[in-house]
Amino acid sequence: MSAGPSARIDIATGRPTVAYSRDLFGHFMEHFHRQVYGGIFEPGSPLADEQGFRLDVLDALRELRIPTVRWPGGCFVSAYHWLDGVGPARLPTYDKAWRVTDPNTFGTDEFLEWCRRLGAEPYLCTNAGTGTPEEMADWLEYCNLPEGSRWADRRAANGHPEPYGVRFWSIGNENYGDWEIGAKSATDWARYVTEAAKMMRRTDPTVSLMAAAVDDLDWALPLLRSAGRYLDFVSIHGYWDRLDAVNEPSGYEQAMAMTLEPERAISRMEAVIRASGQDVAIAFDEWNLRGWHHPWEPGAAAIAARDLNDDESTYTMADAVFSASFLNACLRHASSVRMANIAPTVNTRGPLFVHPEGVVRRTTFHVLAMYANLLEDEVLDAAVWSASTSAAGTEVPVVDAVATVGSGSGAVAVALVNKSASEPARCEIRIDGSLPAGRISATLLASDSPDAYNSVAAPDTVHPQDLELGRDGSVVLPPHSVAVCRLETNLPRDAGRGGWQLGGLGTDWRPRA
């Protein structure tokens, strides 16, 4: 393979490393279409257990080592009352967000048991649309307090005497948007969150609290100045290929132009946090390249149109490369971004497609598996110098990269992305200015075409391969590919230790000859 555009990754071992949070590899599940019912939960399926959990789905998702799962929404939560989904006497409820009837057979206890089976930590998002701060605090009491209070006793009566100890809680979902049930002005939202957070802290002061926000100074600054002292995170969302009304997914080049946007959103939110003077982190707790298709007009045709989200040909190498670029941006800002949740986990736009006979691992599934399993636990300071390419009229660096190191072992793993649709990219990896000796082994996700995808008929068209990708600091990345490379050279155990660096991890790129 002839080398095309060039790039250089300069790793500086004398700079502080950042121990990133594994919650960057989190997930999100909403009661939308076939995510819950017919996705993770399908009573009566031959592939489900006696509780209705799809065992093949659990087995596949364990490959991703999912740390956290956010639930139950999303827009769904802004009219969801948690009491409808607990106990033996549950009645179906009309879902005012998605305009279908939810049977309420999958509620709090089922979700928490599913998380336990998965090995993931639950993250509950509360109703700040039609709900009240007291309802949020009651839900927290149900989940976390020992017996002896009204809602903890209700949990025990429902067969769960021991507290669940749910750590992550969010106040609201996208309450800044006019599409959201119970949308609020910036002033009203700041006051509402302050009172809700205060009540939740008084119920269980040990929880990690976040609140819906947007990377806008006028919206987020009043929120942080009023409620920031009660919060651990602000929650922001991003879908860059907006497809809610018309399902016409962007092609590969347009998607590559969008790869620059997540880091810009992170930087804007960091600036707002600095301006507020508050010590809070960022949770990018809904993200995906593709927005969900859900025409807003009423009628059965609009509901049926949601099936278009399951068009297998949508999820190509564009989605894989975008997802790797998103995760690289979060890792570069790991001192401020402490959680990220791909939306959703299964079906719709998720990395795992679930159908009545089994599952299909989409291209994004393999990227998530590579990052969750192959990277080391601290981020090294690394500057990326790359040739650029024009993607739909936007100048984009061809190569994106992030370098990690094992805090105990000194092992180095570098995630590399080639955004070019057709050209391989020659990359040099330098440590303190020198090319490290030895072979470079890699797990590589690549394909013959940028439009390649996996399907029920051909589930392994795109799959990772283990191979030797280069030697002595030099690798050649195939076009439209993602690789996690391991160097033979280990760093000294004290290299770069003992520091945090807000916004200081290199993101610069420059054209190279």
User: Which residue ranges form the domains of the chain, and what is each CATH number?
Assistant: 6-16+378-487 (2.60.40.1180), 21-374 (3.20.20.80)
What does the pLDDT read at residue 512? 33
What does the pLDDT read at residue 74? 96
Can you tell me the mean pLDDT for 254-262? 98
Locus of tokens 């997930």: 27
496 pLDDT tier (thresholds 50, 70, 90): low
Is residue 404 scored above 60 in pLDDT?
yes
Residues 6+ apart with CB under 8 A from 132: none
Q: Which of 276-280, 341-345, 390-394 has the lowest mean pLDDT?
A: 390-394
What does the pLDDT read at residue 489? 87
Residues 6+ apart with CB under 8 A from 458: none
With beta carbons less than 8 A apart as the criterion, state whether 115 and 166 touch.
Answer: no
What is the tally of helices (H) and strands (E) in the chain?
11, 25
Can you tell me the mean pLDDT for 387-402? 94
What does the pLDDT read at residue 8? 97
Residues 6+ apart with CB under 8 A from 364: 315, 319, 320, 323, 342, 350, 351
What does the pLDDT read at residue 396? 96
Identity of the residue numbered 477: L
Q: Sort residue 35 into left (φ over 0), alpha (ψ -120 to 50) or beta.
A: alpha
CB atoms within 10 A of CB 271: 14
- pTM here? 0.95
Distance between CA atoms of residues 1 and 231, nearest Å: 51
